[in-house]
Amino acid sequence: MIFSDLRHYISTLEKIGQLQVVEGASCELEIGAITEMAASRPNTPAVLFDSIQGYKKGFRILTNFLAHKTRERMVYGVDESLSDAEAVKFWKNKLKEVVPIEPKEVENGPVKENIMIGDDVDLTKFPWPRWHQRDGGPYLCATAAVTRDPDSGYINVGSYRYMLHGKHTIVAHIGSGHHGDVIRKKYWAKGKPCPTAISLGQEPALFETAGTNLSWGVSEYGFAGWMRGAPVEVTKGVVTDLPIPATAEVVLEGEMLPPEAGTQIEGPFGEMSGYYGGGARPAPITVIKSVLYRNDPIILGSPPFLGTSRGILSSRGILIWNELEALGIPNIMGVNYSWGMTIIAIKQAYPGHAMRAAHGALGGTAGYHGRFVIVVDDDIDPFDLHDVMWALATRCDPETSLDVCRRIWSYKIDPRLPKHKKEAGDYTGAVAIIDACRPYHWIDEFPRTTKIGAELLKATEEKWGKFFKD
């Protein structure tokens, strides 16, 4: 369905019993702890925090907003009755038919109900949680940040984390090589600050798109429009002239200053790897010059706790799958990407097929930030880690089935990246390829498994499944 804005999405969650309102929590660790606790529940709700300690009632935070199959499928337009593997395949094929719907510019929008400019800017009016116990400060990390390439005019919308440093000062963490980083460095090379507009609460399709690895020059606004089935309404910012989401809850407009113009410490922050890999380091200052916000604004919170953020449809696995097919690698049956580990299921068609798939994943854009690439046969479910480990334990020969690729694109928050490499700016690491497929040259002679056949399993389920509870 098409959600007109974040509030429409929240009201829908409330109607279907997928929303829990919590009042009186503190930004100092409580909101983060409640978010993680709720995410561990089998039917975790989205959590809307109101009456936050020390802040005006109505200044709210929404977390766990996609951390459930029902909510994710609803945003992506995927039938909830499909299995995970079927849902991934459906969305993978749909991605091959993208027809961008470009944004619609409007004169005004709800985001301009309240405007703070210049000396009136006060970021501390809004709740900024300290999510994890060892975080260096308060953060917001479910953003959609707009920048414009100074050469081509290309508008990029990316999702980055921001640490609060004062009433009008924040610092960003933008990974090296990300489009926002490429764009800001172009401004800095000209001796100029990089204009930016950061949405802190937006309709979920735009948030998901901002965190997706689209190719350079591809419009995130256009992709989000296609995803939601209607154009994203944008309006010009008041100090940057950037196109900002007209129905956003809060937008911060400002400039990312060149490093020589001033830095502040960014980090540490609990990262998606489940570690504090990035530490604390100086980062360029972003000076906020205007704040636009709706009455009773709702800020999105998607901290990297296990189970709270990305689902299978937003996983890089789908993008890796399409990249492999674009390379002409046949018979890819499924791709799962979790914690920097890529698992590829293939139906082997020729000698070297498994290794070609593994190297293809390393050579693409979506498969970076990895430590392992595991290739399994088509009878293995790449989304079932028990199945994958069984294949690894019984089909992988450590003498001949393991390879290590070196100097592969990594990132500075990699918890396993040695200190000396981080200090030198050498954000590269090693990736192990594990071939857990049956050897192709004697695949027909490989011992048969004891697994029940698909047809017999289906017939048994239909006849006898009623006697067993899920």
Mean per-residue pLDDT of the chain: 91
Confidence of residue 416 (pLDDT cuts 50, 70, 90): confident
pLDDT given at position 2: 86
pLDDT of residue 454: 81
Amino acid identity, residue 86? Answer: E
> ∠ at Cα 50 (46, 53), nearest 5°?
130
Strands 155-158 and 144-148: antiparallel
The residue type found at 160 is Y
- The mean-pLDDT minimum among 10-14, 131-135, 169-173, 317-321 falls in 317-321
Region 351-377: what's the mean pLDDT? 89
Residue 105 φ/ψ, nearest 5 degrees? -85, 130
pLDDT at 201 over 90: yes
In the chain, CATH 2.30.110.10 covers 6-301
Tell me the HSE value of 60 on the side-chain side, using a 13 A CA sphere.
Answer: 22
Query: Which strand ranges, in their side-by-side order, compose the sheet holding 46-50?
Result: 19-23, 46-50, 60-63, 298-301
| Distance, CA of 290 to chain centre | 27
The whole-number pLDDT of residue 309 equals 57
Residue range 267-291: mean pLDDT, rounded: 88
Residue 237 near residue 195 (C-beta atoms within 8 A)? no
Coil/strand/helix, residue 119 = helix
Average pLDDT over residues 113-133: 96
Pick left, alpha or beta for residue 326 (phi over 0 → left; psi -120 to 50 → alpha; otherwise beta). alpha
Q: What pLDDT is attached to residue 248?
A: 98
Element (H, E) at 345: strand 341-346
Q: For position 307, what pLDDT does the model report?
A: 54
| 460 exposure class (CB count in 10 Å sphere: 0-12, 13-18, 19+) | exposed
Helix axes 6-15, 69-76, angle to 10 degrees: 130
Mean pLDDT, residues 180-188 taken together: 97
Q: Which residue has the tokens 């300290």?
A: 130
Say which residue the tokens 């060892």 belong to: 134
pLDDT at 214: 86
Q: Which of these ranges, 3-12, 113-122, 159-168, 316-325, has the smallest mean pLDDT? A: 316-325
Which pLDDT value is given to residue 469? 67
User: What is the predicted pLDDT for the residue at 313?
Assistant: 83
For CATH 3.40.1670.10, the residue range(s) in the chain are 316-444
Q: What pLDDT is stored for residue 367 in this prediction?
A: 72
Please give the Cα distance from 405 to 430 (Å, whole number).
6
- Of 107-116, 285-294, 300-309, 428-437, give the lowest mean pLDDT range: 300-309
- Percentage of residues in the chain with pLDDT exceeding 70? 98
**CA 317 – CA 323 distance, rounded (Å):** 10
The reported pLDDT for the residue numbered 452 is: 82
Residue 31 to residue 308: CA distance in whole angstroms: 13
Return the SS3 of 255: strand
The tens digit of pLDDT for each residue in 24-44 reads 999 999 999 999 898 888 888
- C-beta neighbour count of 341 within 10 angstroms: 17
Q: Which residue has the higher pLDDT, 425 or 92?
A: 92
Q: What would be the CATH architecture of the domain defined by 6-301? A: Roll (2.30)
Q: Is the pLDDT of residue 223 over 80?
A: yes
Question: What number is the average pLDDT over the span 355-365?
Answer: 90
Q: What is the pLDDT of residue 232?
A: 97
Q: Which contacts (CB < 8 Å, 24+ apart) does range 419-422 have?
A: 422/279
Torsion of CA 305, 75, 26, 165, to 10 degrees: 80
Q: What are phi and psi of 459, to 5 degrees?
A: -65, -40
- Name the H helices within 82-191: 84-95, 179-189
Cβ proximity of 377 and 355 under 8 Å: no
Q: Give the residue-averaged pLDDT of 77-92.
A: 88
Residue 14 sits at φ, ψ, to 5 deg, of: -65, -40
Q: How many CB atoms lie within 10 A of CB 20?
A: 17
Specify the CATH class of 316-444 in words. alpha beta
* CA-based nearest residue to 85, from 389, 394, 381, 448: 381
Residue-wise over 148-158: b if at least 16 C-beta within 10 A, else e?
bbbeeeebbbb
Burial class (CB in 10 A: 0-12, 13-18, 19+), 183: buried
pLDDT digits (tens, 9 = 90+) for 341-353: 899 999 999 999 9
Using a pLDDT cut of 90, give the percent of the chain over it. Answer: 70
